[in-house]
Amino acid sequence: MRIPCPCCGLRAMAEFTYGGADVTRPAAALPLDPSAAPDADWNDYVYRRDNPAGPHRELWFHAAGCRRWFAVTRDTRTNAFLSEAVA
């Protein structure tokens, strides 16, 4: 698979590290207090991931190139990259 880096262009997958799905962290009260969010929200954030068939937003790190994190939208059925942007 070849991955489109927004800074370096199309590169081999071996140059990248998968950062996981782009998920939203549970809200915490200010000052930051993780105990303010319900345990169920933290459980979902840490352990539960969707397994979508279709477009999916995820994070990648270009370890052997520009060393930048970027977000992509990838179709999990075809592995086609639909969009990419520096994170």
Q: What is the pLDDT of residues 15-58, one digit of tens each?
A: 999 998 888 888 765 567 767 778 888 888 888 888 889 999 99
What does the longest C-alpha to C-alpha distance in the chain come to? 43
Secondary structure element (H or E) that encloses residue 10, with its range: strand 9-12
The CATH H-level superfamily of 2-86 is Folate-binding superfamily (3.30.2270.10)
Q: What is the pLDDT of residue 82?
A: 97
